[in-house]
């Protein structure tokens, strides 16, 4: 149930509203969450939240692992970076001194029927976090080079204004379900080989193929 859709900044929240939210947060029967989209507060039955998360984890994209792989991944990453990157301050900064376990949580998608949860993994401080940011910078110059690339919805509207449609033409919109677990990693790495040195490709291969997280005391990848 959506409790509130605010149009005012959080700092201007009325005292009564703050008390109501605080009271709900203290109630063990309910879980208070932020909506995936829109400035809204969602009230969810506490018993339903783990059930919905477990349903998400039944997707074949996920599988359980028996132990925390953090130390192994850090050693593997350090070895790979010494091989692939020159010794420098930037190189050392890419290796986290105290890596943090990635954790999974879900946000309700109230714009969809049934308000399913969108799985989100907090990867800040994770073994591959800084390396992923580094690789993002390497990819940045190539973003938008495709003739079919659309930067945002405003650009889409501008583009459509210059397109003349005939009566038989159809506009279609496709929604990718679980986009980040369905990405074709092998095909993507083949494209990277066209642009980058093999050592850099090894770094690209390391990040998406060694993704893991903790949920409810269990490790998943």
Mean pLDDT value across the chain: 84
pLDDT of residue 7: 47
**What does the pLDDT read at residue 220?**
95
Residues 56-88 have pLDDT tens digits of 899 888 999 999 999 888 888 888 888 888 766
- What are the structural domain ranges in the chain? 47-143+182-220
Residue 21 — left, alpha, or beta (φ > 0 → left; ψ -120 to 50 → alpha)?
Answer: alpha
Structure letter (DSSP) for residue 166: P
User: Residue 90's CB: how many other CB atoms inside 10 A?
Assistant: 11
Which band of pLDDT confidence, cut at 50, 70 and 90, is reported for residue 6?
very low
pLDDT tens for 96-123 read 778 889 999 999 988 887 788 889 999 8
pLDDT, tens digit (0-9, with 9 covering 90-100), for 141-161: 988 888 888 888 899 898 888
Q: What percent of the chain has pLDDT over 70?
A: 91
Sequence-distant (6+) residues with CB within 8 A of 203 are 80, 81, 84, 85, 131, 135
**Using CA atoms, how far apart are residues 38 and 34, in angstroms rounded to an integer?**
9
Q: What is the pLDDT of residue 11?
A: 52
Q: How far is CA 78 from the centre of its chain?
A: 24
Are the CB atoms for 40 and 198 separated by under 8 Å?
Answer: no
Mean pLDDT score, 28-39: 85
pTM of this structure: 0.75
Residue 196 has phi, psi (to 5 degrees) of -125, 160
């Amino acid at each position: 149930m959506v409790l509130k859709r605010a149009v005012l900044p959080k700092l201007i929240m009325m005292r009564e509203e703050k008390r109501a939210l605080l009271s709900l947060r203290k109630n063990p029967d309910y879980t208070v969450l932020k909506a995936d989209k829109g400035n809204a507060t969602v009230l969810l039955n506490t018993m339903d939240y783990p059930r919905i998360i477990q349903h998400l984890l039944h997707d074949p994209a996920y599988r359980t692992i028996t132990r925390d792989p953090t130390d192994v991944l850090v050693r593997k990453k350090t070895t790979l970076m010494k091989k692939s990157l020159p010794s420098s301050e930037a190189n050392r900064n890419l290796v986290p001194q105290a890596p943090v376990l990635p954790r999974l949580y879900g946000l309700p998608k109230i714009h969809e029927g049934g308000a399913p949860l969108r799985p989100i993994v907090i990867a800040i401080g994770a073994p591959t976090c800084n390396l992923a940011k580094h690789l993002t910078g390497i990819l940045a110059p190539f973003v938008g080079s495709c003739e079919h690339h659309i930067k945002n919805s405003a650009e889409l509207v501008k583009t459509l204004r210059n397109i003349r449609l005939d009566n038989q033409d159809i506009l279609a919109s496709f929604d990718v379900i679980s986009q980040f677990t369905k990405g074709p990693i092998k095909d993507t790495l083949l494209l990277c080989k066209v642009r980058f040195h093999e050592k850099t490709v090894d770094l690209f291969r390391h990040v998406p193929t060694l993704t893991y997280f903790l949920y409810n005391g269990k490790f998943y990848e």
